[in-house]
Structure 1
Amino acid sequence: MSEQNAPAWAAAPPPPWLAAVNAEGSYFDLPATVPLDEDSLVAAARRSTGLGDFGDDGWREPFRVLLKALEEEAQLTLMGRLMARHDIFLWLRTRLMVTDLLARHPEILDEQISAPMVIVGLPRSGTSILFELLSQDPDVGVPQMWEALQPCPPPEAATYASDPRIPWADRLFTQWSRVAPDFARMHEMRGDIPAECGLLMAGSFVSDHIASLHQTPSYAAWCAGADFARVYAWHKRILQILQWKHPRRRWLLKAPEHQVHLDTLLATYPDARIVQTHRDPIKCMASATSLMGTLYRMRSDQPFNAALFENIIMGEATAARLEHVMAQRDNGIVPAASITDSRYQDLMDAPMDCIENIYRHFGMPLADSTKAAMLAYLAAKPKGKFGQHRYQVDRSRSAERRYFANYQQRYNVPDEA
């Protein structure tokens, strides 16, 4: 779809304090004041940890592509540069600490990641609420935001609930809603809630989490052609570290990006149990547009350009993404026994029936106590807990409905828009 046909969307104005800070920052030489160059970032990470080895060099090219894109495309404000520099510093720091830990304890790589359940689907298709519900199973281990962001030193069972990284991560992630108050109505952020796999992958510097933070089309394009085998290898190493001193019976994972790489996911985790969510793509794209636009507005005042992110918010490319998964399922690349489906409408209307269908498909027992915990979670978290996420479905979207006829018919996905 051409940029001229991209759906229009405008972010809410920033809070007055942020507008004032960024206005004052505009008088500075921002690249000199908050540098985003390789040398200073690498030096800062090494100085912070006292370590020097970042492991294999596969991360360096996407790291450099990202830095170049941040300078040339992202149009970062003062707050945006501060947030970007801190993110990259933490990811570099994690690489150093992971490399050092595995050199001292190579036995960590013998940890078995058995039959992880992985939720995939379009952004805003019900993946988050399904993730939260399934995480109520006591047999499930879910990477939390704090440990996904800072996996080293490895979490320990005895201190897991009181780890000092929890309040630290909570202050950091709730900052998002202080910078963009509308974000709290779209997505809950805390230090102790389930983390998406994009955050686990960030230390590889190839991640949709990174791409979701800035309008950096050259970085997104580089990632689209990247070898994800090494990205999933990094992902597995992080899970092995997280369970080393705090064993998890089985992992529950989630990320929309997995949908694009199911073959690589299964090559890394051959016994993975995949749950694909389904919702009206027109509705998903409209919701994702406002979510992503709000994310970018945290760090830049440039207008949101939906055409740069066509694979999740533009009709033809989104349909191609869905058709690709259908073809993989038809061709047996994703075996029928390895994947099942969760319709958004079913999850909203009869959530426990939906959960029971998932467990039944994979031959997993579902205890009454687990069902009770899931129902209690639902009762304690009514829709709109943090305010209603309101967004409009642009009328131009109606012409895109034709792209999804095959997908909606196959999975009986009703129109919502």
Structure 2
Amino acid sequence: MTDFKRDNGAGPSTLAGRWSPPPHPDWLRRMNAEGACFDLPGVVPLDENSLLRCAREATGLADFGDDVWREPFQVLLKALEAEAGLTLMGRLMARSDILLWLQNRLRIVDTFRRHPEIHDEPIDRPIFITGLARSGTSVLFELLSRDPALGSPQTWETFLSCPPPAAASYATDPRREHIHALVTQWSRVVPEFATMHEMGGHIPAECGMLWANTFISDHIAALYQIPSYHAWYASADLAPVYAWHRQMLQLLQWRNPRRHWLLKAPEHLGHLPALLEIYPDARVIQTHRDPIRCMSSATSLLGSLYWMRSDRPFDATAFAGLVEGEATAARLERVMAQRAAGLVPSQNIHDLRYADLLTDPMACIEALYTHFHMPLTEVTRGAMTAFLADKPQGKFGSHQYGISAADHASRRYFAAYQAHYGVPSERA
């Protein structure tokens, strides 16, 4: 579980205090200024009754399934009102997302009720990519998705999962463009976001987006500064979340088969035993990068996500497990201990260094395929080579971290981790 405790080493706000938000686009600044004249809770309500009523009316359905989602849903709503400091745009984005998650949950529960045979869909040797946020997981995800034997849930499927997409119409499903317009809005609200993380309706989605339908999700936690929700999430039991995750994969492959699923989320790093309980034949790839650079990059990313929705200053203490040294090192060493104890069998996991992925990506791929006894066909090799040629580092802009890695006092926390995996320190 992500550790949100305070880092008493380098200081609780070392990173956040040195991150400066970019100016809002003029249209957004003027919109939010006008929004301040309104009774925002009345104009854009985020109360439970309003949201549940709208979700039911939109779908014509009433059964949300088990009650695992209700407590985190209620904790989230209270935190959004009391702690998030949402602007007009922030409230609109929050209400839109929550309604989509509620409506999707209603439709998923209804689909399984009408088609219980979906529960029999086999999930065969899925691949999970995990590691610290900003450690190369996204580019590896996109690179491996070029293998036709691997299938990933696309972003549009995680928002609008029902009716489950059919193979014949998958590439032309109009839901793709609808969700593409919605998620690329993030880069219209904060243009700098496009230099950090590519979004799109057809982009492979992180598992946190599948989890969002349970309201127990690191994806939700990353969007807002809501300490009470973060604290609740930090102690949550994720067993039901992984069970829901498996059902989502079964649903999405029911009419559009995938030979093997390719999945990705940094959050899996803290829950490998739980993941393997649900997926005992899972193949896990752990990426490794200089943690200081990962934390610096994650600070910029989280700050930008919050800046889309609020004008309040960014406070890293809410995200200590991602952007503060002592907590991040504790997460990494906990995984090292789990692996040493055999809780994560060596045949189930492969290590991949970010530095190697940059310098010789195809050699990294060959080693990975060899470890998991996967065939690397010429078709796959060619598709990956073409992808690398088309997407050089910095294609979507240069992401300026704005924080020097060299002078960060947290370096000492990572000595054991970097030595164990041979992770080089990066220059600022």
Structure 2 residue identity aligned to 1:6:
T
Does the residue aligned with 1:200 lie in a helix, a strand or coil?
helix
Q: Distance in 2 between matches of 1:367 and 1:193?
A: 23
Does the residue aligned with 2:368 lie in a helix, a strand or coil?
helix
Match of 1:261? 271
Match of 1:50? 60
Structure 1 residue identity aligned to 2:14:
A
Match of 1:104? 114
Q: Distance in 1 between matches of 2:407 and 2:302?
A: 17
TM-score, length basis structure 2? 0.96
Structure 2 residue 158 is the aligned partner of structure 1 residue 158: no
Matches within 5 A, 1:373-388: 373-388=383-398
Given the alignment, which residue of 74, 80, 84 partners 2:94?
84
Does the residue aligned with 1:199 lie in a helix, a strand or coil?
helix
Alpha-carbon deviation of 1:396? 8.7
Deviating more after overlay: 319-328 vs 2-11: 2-11
Match of 2:138? 128
Given the alignment, which residue of 245, 249, 256 partners 1:235?
245
Structure 2 residue 334 is the aligned partner of structure 1 residue 308: no
Does the residue aligned with 1:58 lie in a helix, a strand or coil?
coil
Q: Is 1:6–1:307's contact at 8 Å kept on the other side of the alignment?
A: no
Q: Distance in 1 between matches of 2:325 and 2:38?
A: 41
The 1:306–1:394 alpha-carbon spacing in structure 2 relative to 1, beyond 3 Å, is farther
Q: Is 1:316–1:403's contact at 8 Å kept on the other side of the alignment?
A: yes
Q: Is 2:12–2:324's contact at 8 Å kept on the other side of the alignment?
A: no
Structure 2 residue 218 is the aligned partner of structure 1 residue 208: yes
Q: Distance in 2 between matches of 1:107 and 1:232?
A: 19
Structure 2 residue identity aligned to 1:44:
C
Given the alignment, which residue of 352, 355, 358 partners 2:368?
358
Structure 2 residue 358 is the aligned partner of structure 1 residue 340: no
The 1:397–1:38 alpha-carbon spacing in structure 2 relative to 1, beyond 3 Å, is farther
Structure 2 residue 24 is the aligned partner of structure 1 residue 14: yes
Match of 1:250? 260
Matches within 5 A, 1:180-199: 180-199=190-209
CA offsets 1:327-378 (integer angstroms, 9 cap, x no match): 1100000000000111000000000000011111111111122111100001
TM-score, length basis structure 1? 0.99
Q: Distance in 2 between matches of 1:413 and 1:118?
A: 21
Structure 2 residue identity aligned to 1:360:
T
Q: Is 1:171–1:191's contact at 8 Å kept on the other side of the alignment?
A: yes
The 1:199–1:369 alpha-carbon spacing in structure 2 relative to 1, beyond 3 Å, is same
Alpha-carbon deviation of 1:398? 2.4
Identity %: 62
Structure 1 alignment gaps of length 5 or more: none
Alpha-carbon deviation of 1:27? 0.8
Matched residue pairs, number? 417
Deviating runs (4+, > 4 A) in structure 1?
A: 2-5, 394-397
CA offsets 1:125-160 (integer angstroms, 9 cap, x no match): 000010011000010101101011211110100000
Q: Distance in 1 between matches of 2:12 and 2:393?
A: 35
Q: Distance in 2 between matches of 1:12 and 1:5?
A: 19
Q: Is 2:405–2:426's contact at 8 Å kept on the other side of the alignment?
A: no
Q: Is 1:282–1:397's contact at 8 Å kept on the other side of the alignment?
A: no
Q: Is 2:146–2:380's contact at 8 Å kept on the other side of the alignment?
A: yes
Q: Distance in 1 between matches of 2:347 and 2:338?
A: 13
Alpha-carbon deviation of 1:397? 5.4
Given the alignment, which residue of 216, 231, 234 partners 1:224?
234
Match of 1:408? 418
Structure 2 residue 156 is the aligned partner of structure 1 residue 146: yes
Q: Kindly report the root-mean-square deviation, in angstroms, between the aligned alpha carbons of the 2 structures.
A: 1.0
Q: Distance in 1 between matches of 2:199 and 2:328?
A: 26
Alpha-carbon deviation of 1:393? 2.4
Given the alignment, which residue of 307, 324, 334 partners 2:334?
324
Q: Distance in 2 between matches of 1:395 and 1:340?
A: 27
Structure 2 alignment gaps of length 5 or more: 1-6
Structure 2 residue 13 is the aligned partner of structure 1 residue 33: no
Does the residue aligned with 1:171 lie in a helix, a strand or coil?
helix
Does the residue aligned with 2:426 lie in a helix, a strand or coil?
coil
Q: Is 1:276–1:342's contact at 8 Å kept on the other side of the alignment?
A: yes
Does the residue aligned with 1:120 lie in a helix, a strand or coil?
strand
Match of 2:297? 287
Q: Distance in 1 between matches of 2:405 and 2:351?
A: 29
Alpha-carbon deviation of 1:387? 1.0
Structure 2 residue identity aligned to 1:299:
R
Structure 2 residue 124 is the aligned partner of structure 1 residue 114: yes
